[in-house]
Amino acid sequence: MGQTLVEKIFSRASGKDVKAGDFVFAEIDLAMIHDITAPLAIKAFREIAGDGARVWDSKKVIMAFDHQVPADSIQAAENHKMLRKFAEEQDILNYDVKGGIAHQLMVENHVEPGMLVVGADSHTCMYGALGAFATGIGSTDMGCVLALGKLWFKVPESIRFNIHGRLEKYVYGKDIVLKLIGMVGADGANYKACIYSGEVVEKLEMADRLTMCNMAIEMGGKAGIVEPDKVTLDYLKSLGREFEGELLRSDEDTEFQNVELDVTGMEPQVAMPHRVDNVVGISEIEGTKVDQVFIGSCTNGRYEDLEIAAEILKDETIASSVRLIVIPASRREYQRALKDGLIEVFVEAGGLVEAPCCGPCMGGSFGLIASGEVSVSTSNRNFIGRQGSPEGKIYLVNPAVAAATAIYGEITDPRKIK
């Protein structure tokens, strides 16, 4: 029996042939820390390696300031100051203080197919859209990685999600992954690698693939992966990055746990409060009054997402009762949107466009909701208190639904207005 892509990546990283269930001490290709998780990781690194120790490879450590940037408190400012000092001391050149969500910066600038990547953030699994194995780890584990460049893993089993059929208008990768999460549940893929496959996935562009891999963690997945192909190579080429290595893929005789989904006729999906697996079709909750709409995050803050929203918002005005916040995922995505007039569309519609960062997604910075308020968001989590008050409610949607909702002030199916 052949190997899965995951088994092949871990075989390379550990220097021996492995199978799912094996325990390996694997070499890490890249390690990501950001302004929220880096302080604890650095503390663990110093406890493990000792004061004055050097990280294992400064070129393979990437640090981003994205959760509380620009600094929104004195504490955040002091935190940033400490991290800049650490980067200088360790000769870490790959750190960005000018804006951009860490996960987007990683796929734009660093991750390549076949890599083993860890990040001190659960949505690190997004990078699997490039055919890498990428997973989130805790701060103590990251301290070990910073010191040694290696980490223990149990090689995960893989679930293959076979997506067939034809997507309807205004139905995207976000809806596919929400549907899957609703099907298997928040713990349905615990410590499994979620491999998205089938003719629908093969036709998806990178933006949708990134969204789907980003949310693998919401069903308990250790990683989300799309096996690399021409779309992968074309995306890297669009970034000015030529990949000349071997494109690892699962062997044809590999056995998987398979989950099938036919998306033909599927309507836009919505995750209702307060669980990501509490998923329904939009027709079940149309008309729900909304106070805030957030279009952005590492899940849906790319140019393609902004373009979808702008198409619906063009020549429209948002409801007087709604606050619309739009945040591109990186400076690159912001500049693309600016050049093509998308930012102007959002501003003219009455929206507030912010510099690239996480924004309201984790509820630690700006754009928070008050008690009793409802947020419709293109982000990845709707847990209690995630975007502000624990008495608020968050509904997760795709960018088209978010834009239509902003216009009418209530959850709206975009297929009915465009």
- For the chain, which domains are there? 5-261 (3.30.499.10), 271-416 (3.30.499.10)
- Amino acid 244: pLDDT: 85
Cis check for the bond before 274: say yes or no (omega within 30 of 0).
yes
Instruction: For the beta carbon of residue 138, count every other beta carbon within 10 angstroms.
Output: 14
Longest dimension (CA), the chain: 62
- Amino acid 97: pLDDT: 63
- Amino acid 361: pLDDT: 85
Q: How far apart are CA 83 and CA 95, in angstroms?
A: 10
Identify residue 63 by its one-letter amino acid code: M
pTM exceeds cut of 0.85 = yes
Task: Check: CB of residue 417 under 8 Å from CB of residue 314.
Answer: no
- Amino acid 42: pLDDT: 95
**Residue bearing tokens 């709604």:** 322
Q: How far apart are CA 235 and CA 128, in angstroms?
A: 14
Q: How far apart are CA 351 and CA 313, in angstroms?
A: 10
Q: How far apart are CA 179 and CA 182, in angstroms?
A: 5
386 burial class (0-12, 13-18, 19+ CB within 10 angstroms)? buried
Low-confidence ranges of the chain (pLDDT < 50): none
Query: Rounded to 5 degrees, what angle do the CA atoms 383, 122, 41 make?
Result: 120
CA 191 to chain centre: 18
Q: Is residue 323 helix, strand or coil?
A: strand
264 burial class (0-12, 13-18, 19+ CB within 10 angstroms)? exposed
